[in-house]
Amino acid sequence: MNLELRMIKGKKTITNCGKIRKVKVYVKNRTVAHETARVIHHKDGAEAYIWSNVKLKGRQAKKLTLSYDPSGDKGHSVTWTAEIIIDNDAYPADNSAEPRQTEVTCGP
């Protein structure tokens, strides 16, 4: 088994804090066997959301989406990370992706 966290996507800069934003995590099953895993999405190192029982068919890619309200982060920078949790992964080095930085620049 080998699941890969491909990337995290979201806005680099948010100037309108009155709008809910989407932060996306892309995962892929690199093998032909069906797999089930947990994906944990972090905001500034703390768990923001956990997807349990993410089911991936063989070679399937999937997008997971978190709805983010930036109003509580005005004037701050937010760092998004994520990880896949699965037992006996053949290549655990690809179970996380590069962090994604979001600048929340809307005024107070």
Query: Can you give the CATH number for the domain in which 95 is found?
Result: 2.60.40.10
Q: How confident is the model at residue 38 (pLDDT cuts 50, 70, 90)?
A: very high
Percent of the chain with pLDDT over 90: 91
Comparing 90 with 49, the larger pLDDT belongs to 49
Range of the domain at 83: 3-104
Count of domains for the chain: 1
Confidence of residue 3 (pLDDT cuts 50, 70, 90): very high
Amino acid 87: pLDDT: 85
Say what the pLDDT of residue 23 is.
97
Provide φ and ψ at 4, rounded to 5°: -125, 135
Please return the burial class of 103, using the count of CB atoms within 10 Å of its CB with bins 0-12, 13-18 and 19+: middle
What is the residue-averaged pLDDT of the chain?
Answer: 94
